[in-house]
């Protein structure tokens, strides 16, 4: 009687669960799949993501367009996304009773708006597939046990043997996954935060927490980093999609500056200072008796408009007709090129993503298998892959997890084409 293939998944996050399910479903009775999660709460990141709603993926179904949302890993993921992309993820969950919806910005959530829906689905699928899930039981160390197997030491000191090992322990530098990868000769690219908000004590922002601007452009001074999109003012400074995208693409650059830099914001993106001066002049001619601070012809939130008027040196009670050309020029400058000094960051708690991880050139993306140690696979954020906010990091986890799971079940060679859900 042929001995069952033993597969161990280290890490109980999105990538680990998806890999375990894919592997167990493909292996059937021919193998044993055990998932080890060091904490008492697997899928913890899934639970808190998207404000507790779980931003499952993004409605972007063209792989070449999809990879443009990844500051790191896009080139390596292009082939992977041709085999498992957001459409496959949506179909997989739908086949298991979870319907998803698309929001205006392309983000996809379960129709229940509850991350527990996704967690329950993954737990049921793992149970149905026969995955053995062990919590408070992490993989502490791994050693080669001959050419085709590993000896693993668990956090309780016990040892287990397996033929295939997947590291899906996430991007936390303290996790054992990076130590294990290094023990087999892998290079770990430096880990720094990838999605974070910008700290600023600028007086123009004080007291405006919760205020949002539908469309803004932001540039990090002295760099080529530039983004456009919605902006949110918080207690600590600046956030929202435009800032989070800047933080992702500039993760290493901004870390090298110790998060001390200037960001220039235009609240009238696509328009020059001269364009805005003309608009303000037209507003002055049309409404000469109105107070400057009580009417914004550009559609900006009034409280922000009041701050920009004051920053331009104009009295809040001044009328439009009292504002000369120089004053309108100063106001246009505040609108199109407002400089904010940034002094620090806060992690974006919904996704708390890092860049850095296992060097991608050392991994075969057809199987997610190590090029240095056969039988060792990687998936999820332990790799040097990160996406912008919007469900892209979860999609990378589903994709790399599925490919790794199928490949571990096959034993050698690339996983097959994307299978029906």
- Over residues 231-247, the mean pLDDT reads 96
Q: Is 356 helix (H, G, I), strand (E, B) or coil?
A: strand
Identify whether residues 172 and 208 lie together within a single domain: no
Q: Let me know if residue 314 belongs to a domain.
A: yes
- Where does a domain end: 347, 365, 389? 347
Instruction: State what percent of residues in the chain have pLDDT above 90.
Output: 92
pLDDT one-digit tens code per residue, 336-385: 999 999 999 987 555 578 999 999 999 999 999 999 999 999 999 999 99
The average confidence (pLDDT) of the chain is: 94
In a domain, 416, yes or no: no
- Considering the domain architecture, whether residues 289 and 397 belong to the same structural domain is answered as no
Asked if residue 415 belongs to a domain, the reply is: no
Residue 105 shares a structural domain with residue 82: yes
User: In this model, does residue 416 exceed pLDDT 50?
Assistant: no
What is the number of structural domains in the chain?
2
Residue 418 lies in a domain: no
* Alpha carbons 9 and 142: distance in angstroms, whole number: 12
Residues 386, 361 share a domain: yes
Task: Judge if 315 and 213 occupy the same domain.
Answer: yes
Question: Distance between CA 38 and CA 12 in Å, rounded?
Answer: 8
pLDDT of residue 115: 98
Report the CATH number at residue 120. 3.50.50.60
The crossing angle, in degrees rounded to 10, of helices 14-27 and 115-129 is 30
Biggest CA pair distance of the chain: 94
Is residue 420 scored above 60 in pLDDT?
no
Question: What is the mean predicted confidence (pLDDT) over 136-161?
Answer: 95
Question: Residue 323 sits in which domain range?
Answer: 197-347
Distance CA 386, CA 380 (A): 9
The length of the chain is 421
Q: Is residue 109 part of a domain?
A: yes
pLDDT at 351: 52
Per-residue pLDDT of 151-165, as tens digits, reads: 999 999 999 999 999
Under the banding of pLDDT at 50, 70 and 90, the label for residue 147 is confident
Residues 396 and 73 sit within 8 Å (Cβ to Cβ): yes
Residue 419 pLDDT: 39
* Structural contact between residues 188 and 359, judged by C-beta atoms closer than 8 angstroms: yes
Per-residue pLDDT averaged across 178-205, rounded? 96
pLDDT of residue 2: 64
Cα dihedral 319, 321, 327, 330, rounded to 10, equals 70
Residues 18 and 108 in one domain: yes
Q: What is the pLDDT of residues 11-55, one digit of tens each?
A: 999 999 999 999 999 999 999 999 999 999 999 999 999 889 999
What is the distance between the alpha carbons of residues 39 and 23, in angstroms, rounded to a whole number?
22
Look at residues 294, 329, 347 and tell me which one is the last residue of a structural domain.
Answer: 347
Closest CA to 197 of 233, 239, 246: 239
- Token digits for 145? 């046990």
Q: Please tell me whether residues 149 and 205 are part of one structural domain.
A: no
Check whether residue 61 and residue 160 sit in a common domain.
yes
Say which residue the tokens 């997947």 belong to: 166
């Amino acid at each position: 009687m042929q001995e069952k293939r033993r597969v161990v998944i280290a890490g109980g996050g999105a990538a680990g669960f998806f890999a375990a399910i894919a592997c167990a479903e493909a292996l059937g009775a021919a193998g044993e799949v055990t998932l080890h999660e060091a904490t008492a709460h697997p899928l913890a990141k899934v639970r808190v993501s998207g404000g507790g709603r779980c931003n499952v993926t993004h409605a972007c179904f063209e792989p070449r367009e999809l990879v443009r949302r990844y500051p790191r890993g896009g080139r390596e993921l292009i082939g992977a996304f041709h085999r498992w992309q957001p459409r496959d993820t949506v179909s997989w969950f739908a086949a298991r009773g979870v319907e998803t919806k698309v929001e205006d910005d392309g983000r996809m959530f379960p129709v229940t708006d509850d991350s527990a829906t996704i967690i329950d689905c993954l737990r049921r699928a793992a149970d149905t597939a026969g995955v053995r899930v062990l919590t408070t039981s992490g993989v502490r160390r791994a050693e080669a046990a001959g050419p085709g197997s590993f000896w693993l030491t668990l956090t309780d000191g016990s040892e287990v043997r397996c033929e295939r090992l997947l590291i899906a322990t996430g991007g936390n530098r303290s996790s054992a996954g990076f130590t294990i990868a290094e023990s087999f000769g892998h290079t770990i690219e430096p880990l720094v935060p990838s999605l974070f908000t910008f700290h600023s004590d600028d007086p123009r922002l004080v007291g405006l927490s919760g205020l949002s601007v539908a469309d803004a452009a932001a540039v990090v001074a002295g760099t080529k980093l530039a983004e456009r999109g919605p902006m949110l003012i918080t207690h600590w400074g600046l956030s929202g999609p435009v800032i989070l995208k800047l933080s992702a693409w500039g993760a290493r650059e901004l870390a090298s500056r110790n998060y001390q830099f200037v960001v220039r914001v235009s609240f009238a993106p696509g328009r020059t200072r001269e364009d805005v001066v003309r608009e303000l002049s037209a507003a002055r001619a049309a409404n000469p008796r109105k107070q400057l601070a009580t009417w914004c012809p550009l559609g900006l939130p009034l409280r922000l408009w009041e701050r920009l008027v004051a920053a331009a040196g104009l009295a809040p009670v001044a009328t439009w007709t009292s504002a000369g050309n120089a004053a309108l020029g100063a106001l246009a400058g505040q609108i199109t090129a407002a400089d904010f000094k940034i002094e620090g960051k806060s992690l974006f708690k919904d996704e708390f993503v890092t860049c850095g991880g296992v060097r991608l050139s050392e991994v075969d993306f057809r199987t997610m298998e190590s090029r240095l140690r056969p039988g060792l696979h990687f998936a999820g954020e332990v790799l040097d892959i990160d996406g912008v906010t919007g469900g892209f990091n979860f999609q990378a986890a589903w994709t790399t997890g599925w490919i790794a799971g199928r490949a571990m079940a096959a034993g050698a060679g690339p996983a097959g084409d994307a299978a029906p859900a």
